[in-house]
Amino acid sequence: MQRLVLGLPKGSLQEATFAMLRKAGYDVKAGSRSYMPNVDDPALDLRLIRAQEISRYVELGVLDAGITGYDWIVENGSDVHEIAELVYAKQGFRPVRWVVAVPDDSDMQTVQDLNGKRIATEAVGLTERFLAEQGVEAEVEYSWGATEVKAPDLVDAIVELTETGSSLRANNLRILATVLESTTRFIANRAAWTDADKRAKMEQLAVLLQGAIAAEAKVLLKMNAPSANVHVIAAVLPSLHAPTVNPLETDDWVAVESVVDEKVVREIIPELKKAGAEGIIELPLNKVIP
73 and 188 share a domain? yes
> Could you say which of 195, 215, 235 is where a domain stops?
215
**Residue 127 sits in the same domain as residue 233:** no
Number of folded domains that form the chain: 3
Least confident window among 59-63, 208-212, 238-242, 279-283: 238-242
- Parallel, antiparallel, or unpaired for β 65-69 and 173-182? unpaired
pLDDT for 141-181, tens place per residue? 999 988 999 999 999 999 999 988 888 999 999 999 999 99
Give a yes or no: residue 290 inside a domain: no
Find the mean pLDDT for residues 45-58.
96
Residues 6+ apart with CB under 8 A from 264: 238
Which residues make Cβ contacts (< 8 Å) with residue 213, sequence separation at least 6? Answer: 20, 86, 87, 88, 93
With bands split at pLDDT 50, 70 and 90, how would you rate the model's confidence at 1?
A: low
**Least confident span in 58-72, 88-102, 202-216:** 88-102
Instruction: State residue 128's pLDDT score.
Output: 96
Whichever domain contains 226, its CATH number is: 3.30.70.120
pLDDT in tens, 239-250: 767 899 999 988
The verdict on residue 142 lying in a domain is yes
Could you tell me if 208 and 144 lie in one domain? no
Residue range of the domain that includes 12: 4-93+184-215
**What band does 87 get if pLDDT is binned at 50, 70 and 90?**
confident
Q: Is the pLDDT of residue 90 over 80?
A: no
Residue 286 has pLDDT above 70, yes or no: yes
How large is the average pLDDT for residues 215-231? 93
Query: How far from each other are the two terminal CA atoms of the chain, in whole angstroms?
Result: 30
> Global pTM?
0.84
- Report the 3 state secondary structure along 119-171: EEECCHHHHHHHHHHCCCCCEEEECCCCHHHHCCCCCCEEEEEECCCHHHHHC
Going by C-alpha positions, the residue among 126, 195, 116 that lies closest to residue 157 is 116
In a domain, 31, yes or no: yes
Same domain, 105 and 86: no
| pLDDT one-digit tens code per residue, 271-282 | 999 999 999 999
Task: Please report the pLDDT score of residue 92 as a whole number.
Answer: 56
| Per-residue confidence (pLDDT) for residue 16, from 0 to 100 | 87
Give the span between the Cα atoms of 285 and 282, in whole angstroms: 10
Q: What is the pLDDT of residues 252-263, one digit of tens each?
A: 999 999 999 999
Domain co-membership, 142 together with 188: no
- pLDDT at position 93, please? 64
Tens of pLDDT along 116-136?
Answer: 999 999 999 999 999 999 999
| Domain-terminating residue out of 182, 203, 229 | 182
Model pLDDT, residue 254: 96
For residue 91, pLDDT beyond 80:
no
Q: What is the CATH number of the domain that holds 68?
A: 3.40.190.10
Do 193 and 253 reside in the same domain of the chain?
no
Q: Are 188 and 67 within one domain?
A: yes
Residue 182 and residue 237: Cα distance in Å, rounded? 34
Q: Is the pLDDT of residue 13 over 90?
A: no
* Res 34 pLDDT > 70: yes
User: Does residue 164 lie in a domain region?
Assistant: yes
DSSP 104: T
Q: Are residues 235 and 279 in the same domain?
A: yes
* Closest of 156, 135, 131, 154 to residue 144, by C-alpha: 154
Residue 89 has pLDDT above 70, yes or no: no
- Does 191 lie in the same domain as 65? yes
Asked if the model's pLDDT at residue 140 lies above 60, the reply is yes
Torsion of CA 120, 121, 125, 129, to 10 degrees: -70
Give the pLDDT score at 242: 80
Residue 192 DSSP SS3 = helix
